[in-house]
Amino acid sequence: MPKRAADIALIVGLAALYLALARVGLSLDAVAGFATLVWPPTGLALAALLLFGYRAWPGIFIGAFTANLLTGAPVPVALGIGVGNTAEALACAYLVQRLPRFTMTLESVRSVMRLILAAVLGTMISATIGVASLYAGGIVANDQLRESWMAWWIGDMVGALVVAPIILVWSTAPRAQFRPGRTETAFLVVALSLVSVSTFFDGVRFVPSFPTPFHQTDVLLAVLIWAALRFGQRGSVTAAFLVSATAVTATTLGFGPFVQPELRLGLLSLQTFMAIVIVTCLLLGATIAERRCVHEIAREAHRAAIRANRAKSEFLAVMSHELRTPLNAIAGYSQLLEDGIYGPLNEKQTDGVARIHRNEQQLLEIIDEVLGFVSAETGHVTVQSAPVHVIEVLDVVAPLMEPELQRKQASLKRDDIRSGLTVRADPKSLQQILLRLLSNAAKYTDEGGMVTIGAEREGKTIRIWVRDTGAGIPQAEIDHVFEPFFQAEHATTRRVSGIGLGLTIARDLARRMEGEVTLASKVGTGTTASVILPAA
């Protein structure tokens, strides 16, 4: 459809709908026949300008002018009222759109507050111009000015707060996702219908009454809160709209708690009450939607972090496996040279080959650490729980560490351990943990130092500990030593090799066996690492 034709269709359609809603409002005991307390066209006009832009304003003017002309207003008065209604809608739309990042879905408290501000201030324009037009036309007397202005303003304000939100939130896709089930939706509809009817049609035959220790309006508010919490802003504004429509219908027919000798007095009380209810619903719905949006952003960030972490683990695993191939070749050829397969080596050549072999072994240990970390992180490590004698495990791991300690002229001491100490653990995993703890202790123990290993029962657990006489770890860094790749010594000054995964892997293995690894250290004295496991 060409743009001009589309604009004409928009204006005509808006004018017709505005006229229909206006006729309904003007039929409800309007003050002096024109100042009504129920004026849904304001909400329609505001929503139209926000959705389609200021080009829709002629439809508002035509609808307002025609409605008042058909009600009996002289042409000048109808023109004045039409100008006031159009200026009101334009002012409200301008006030709302001045807010950066205003959301049509009203899913932010700032957007709702700006809409409320526009509804309160902008509608004063129509009330003032409209009542002034009625006064100038001799339709409103001096003693009716205040009552007419108040009725006009409240009617327009509540119309803006009730009708505009439901049009806006259902015309745009929400950012916050609420997915209640069909059963809950049906329960909410039934509850809202029953409570609304019993509240506003109280006393009508066949209308159920629900005796509760609370006032009926308290139950109604509880249902509205339910709609906001579980269905978001769409549920909140829809429920408020349905309650408002039910309340106006009941009060007009002479039923409910807001009935007064004069309809306009009852509608004044009702609309004041509904203004408070609607503002509460809008703010609650916006608050819930904001929290849901933040939760969705955090959840997506968490999923992205998991994907990135998985990619990192896969990269480390692939690179570690790929590095093993050239390392195996280096190890094989260095061994052939060391064995004299290619001829005898002189003293310097023998020393060089030995250095190659040692560095190859050191690099292989690092790769094994990375692979162990990746396996633990991706959950590929399986552990079994069985009774394990502590002494038997120490008999296996202690000899493996003696060559490294001998190179540093350090000694390994084993405290007296009761022969009956037994833990529930996976034997291979426990051996890995102790080897990593002993390896760390050996690395950080100075020449001539000592590494001590022992075990003792503590209630329903058994603690196996490894103590060294190294430099110790500052207290500020104790909490970080279990983080992957963390080094207590700075990269430029540290004296020992390693990439900082030993304690990370050890703790992960211990936790898989319902245990824990702890660390206690004092600078200048040494460090004690402990693995605590359930006693068998």
Strand 386-389 and strand 450-458: pairing?
Answer: unpaired
What residue type is assigned to position 81 of the chain?
I
Specify whether the CB–CB gap between 106 and 129 falls below 8 A. no
Task: State the alpha helices, DSSP H only, in 98-215.
Answer: 109-136, 145-171, 182-200
pLDDT of residue 492: 38
The helix-helix angle for 427-444 and 502-512 (nearest 10°) equals 150
Q: Is 462 helix (H, G, I), strand (E, B) or coil?
A: strand
Structure tokens that stand for 275 in this block: 């203004």
pLDDT of residue 415: 85
Residue whose tokens read 């190294």: 470
pLDDT of residue 207: 64
| Distance between CA atoms of residues 338 and 328, nearest Å | 15
What residue type is assigned to position 206 of the chain?
F
| Distance between CA atoms of residues 405 and 447, nearest Å | 9
Q: Is the dihedral of CA 470, 476, 481, 482 positive or negative?
A: positive
**pTM listed for this prediction:** 0.65
Who contacts 187 (Cβ-Cβ below 8 Å, separation ≥6)?
A: none
Q: Indicate left, alpha or beta for 285 from its phi (over 0: left) and psi (-120 to 50: alpha).
A: alpha
| Distance between CA atoms of residues 56 and 127, nearest Å | 21
What residue type is assigned to position 397 of the chain?
V
Who contacts 164 (Cβ-Cβ below 8 Å, separation ≥6)?
A: 42, 43, 44, 46, 47, 50, 115, 119
What residue type is assigned to position 143 of the chain?
D
Structure tokens that stand for 377 in this block: 């992180």
pLDDT of residue 374: 67
Residue whose tokens read 């269905």: 231
Under DSSP, the state recorded for 340 is T
Angle value at C-alpha 235, between 231 and 241, nearest 5 degrees: 165
With a cut of 50, list the residues of the chain below it in pLDDT: 212-214, 490-495
| Distance between CA atoms of residues 96 and 75, nearest Å | 32
pLDDT of residue 120: 95
| Distance between CA atoms of residues 375 and 4, nearest Å | 66
Residue whose tokens read 């809950």: 184
Task: State the alpha helices, DSSP H only, in 201-254.
Answer: 216-253
Who contacts 102 (Cβ-Cβ below 8 Å, separation ≥6)?
A: 96, 110, 111, 114
End-to-end CA distance of the chain: 81
Q: Is 411 helix (H, G, I), strand (E, B) or coil?
A: strand
